[in-house]
Amino acid sequence: MTFLLATLISLMLAVVLIPVLLLLLQTLLAAAPLGTAPAAGARRPRVAILVPAHNEEAGVGATIASVQPQLLEGDRILVVADNCSDDTAGAVRRAGAEARERFDTERRGKGYALDFGVRCLEADAPEVVIIVDADCIVGPGAIDRLAREAVASGRPVQALYLMDMPAGGGLMKKIAQFAWVVKNLVRPLGYHRLGLPCQLMGTGMAFTWPVISQAALASGHIVEDMKLGMDLAMAGKPPLFSPHALVTSSFAASAEGADSQRTRWEHGHMSMIASEALPLLLRGLLRGRPMVVALALDMCVPPLALLALIAMALSGVALVFSLFTGAGLPLLLALVTMAGFGAAVLLAWARHGRGILSAGDLLMAVFYIFKKIPLYFRFFINRQVEWVRSKRDSE
């Protein structure tokens, strides 16, 4: 019995060690300075900016204003006002962009809005479509870089998507901001330096017209961006990371809005690991598709707080078991797992997180981790399975 328990605990730790080591590898590779932006390609294609919007009257004007100075003759901005109960469409037109309204109470979600928008573009198809969420600000030069890289590579291109902390945000939101940096900068940058693909992040995504016009967009999937990235990787078009093209948004300031954001992102990611990422990993291995395998492995890395909780729980079990039985392998694996996770987090903080968290703040992250336990329990008893817009602070 002791041998069987030791084997079981060791196997569970070995499974957890895989994403920990991948996280550590990505962090090590991302430690070097980003450097200056390389040339993005010789030709600037004609671009359409596609903005899905649901009740975004208050903020969509700022998104449009960040894009307009970057457009050239022949480019356009199309905003899909999707199932709106406010005057989003009017705000779009007042800001000088094109608005199309869509009403369908049965087919709700961002994926349906994107599919509608792509169909609207068919009559005068652009060379490149860049998807930007209606609560985002597009950094200077990002449109040009994304468009050029998409047409030069023929692959989807994902901008660096970062979240700003709202004014007056406390320590927990600082820690959340750092975790976002690890997910959306550190990890994809590490992969990028190996020539490996990244996950799509939902905004700041550029696609050539042949790619986006054939993509299966119409769904209410809670994380339609991750699903789209996997589908395109299987089709031979794995997404490419563009760290010098920046798109930003802000965490919701209200507790209700922040909880809604976290639940949608993390429940969606956890669902994708079981339902999509593991089967994708198997298909990639069986078909000899290294890019697909790399993307599936990356998707199998849980949210940072969840990975920390799992590693700590299993390490605690291994420690107690080893103290009572003298078994060495579970304890050794636990030490390697915790050391690898700790090294990855410390290196990511030292290189990319000092401007967000002090060393003392980082030590308080354990409270942030435990605070998220109810969110993970809700995944099993009341899982969010449909797209729900986060409540804005002005509402």
Residue 179 has pLDDT above 70, yes or no: yes
pLDDT band at 256 (very low <50, low <70, confident <90, very high): low
Mean per-residue pLDDT over the chain, rounded? 89
What is the CA angle 24-28-32, rounded to 5?
155
Residue 198 has pLDDT above 70, yes or no: yes
Give how far the C-alpha of residue 270 lies from the chain's centroid of Cα atoms, to the nearest Å.
13
SS3 state of residue 6: helix
Cβ pair 146, 159 in contact under 8 A: yes
SS3 state of residue 327: coil
What is the CA angle 147-126-84, rounded to 5?
95
Cβ pair 57, 86 in contact under 8 A: yes
Q: How far apart are CA 223 and CA 226, in angstroms?
A: 6
pLDDT band at 394 (very low <50, low <70, confident <90, very high): very low
| pLDDT value for 94 | 96
Give how far the C-alpha of residue 81 lies from the chain's centroid of Cα atoms, to the nearest Å.
23
Listed residue (206, 66, 222) closest to 129, CA to CA: 206
Residue 364 has pLDDT above 50, yes or no: yes
What is the CA angle 340-175-34, rounded to 5?
65
Q: How far apart are CA 361 and CA 359, in angstroms?
A: 5
Residue 377 vs residue 45, higher pLDDT: 45
pTM of the model: 0.90
Q: How far apart are CA 16 and CA 340, in angstroms?
A: 11
Determine the structural domain holding residue 194 and report its residue range. 1-395
Residue 11 has pLDDT above 90, yes or no: yes
User: How many C-beta atoms lie closer than 10 Å to residue 290's C-beta?
Assistant: 11
The tokens describing 121, both together, are 């573009």
SS3 state of residue 79: strand
The tokens describing 164, both together, are 């700003």
Name which of 154-158, 213-217, 219-223 the model is least confident about.
219-223
| pLDDT value for 298 | 95
Tens-place pLDDT, residues 272-303: 787 888 888 999 999 999 999 999 999 999 98
Question: What's the structural domain count of the chain?
Answer: 1
pLDDT (average), residues 1-25: 93
Residue 103 has pLDDT above 80, yes or no: yes
The continuous run of DSSP H or E covering 361 comes out as: helix 359-363
| CATH number of the domain enclosing 264 | 3.90.550.10
Listed residue (154, 271, 119, 265) closest to 203, CA to CA: 265
Side-by-side strand order, sheet with 128-131: 98-102, 76-82, 47-53, 128-131, 205-208, 157-164, 240-250, 137-138
Q: Whose structure tokens read 């790619």? A: 211
Q: Whose structure tokens read 């079990």? A: 317
Q: How far apart are CA 337 and CA 292, in angstroms?
A: 25
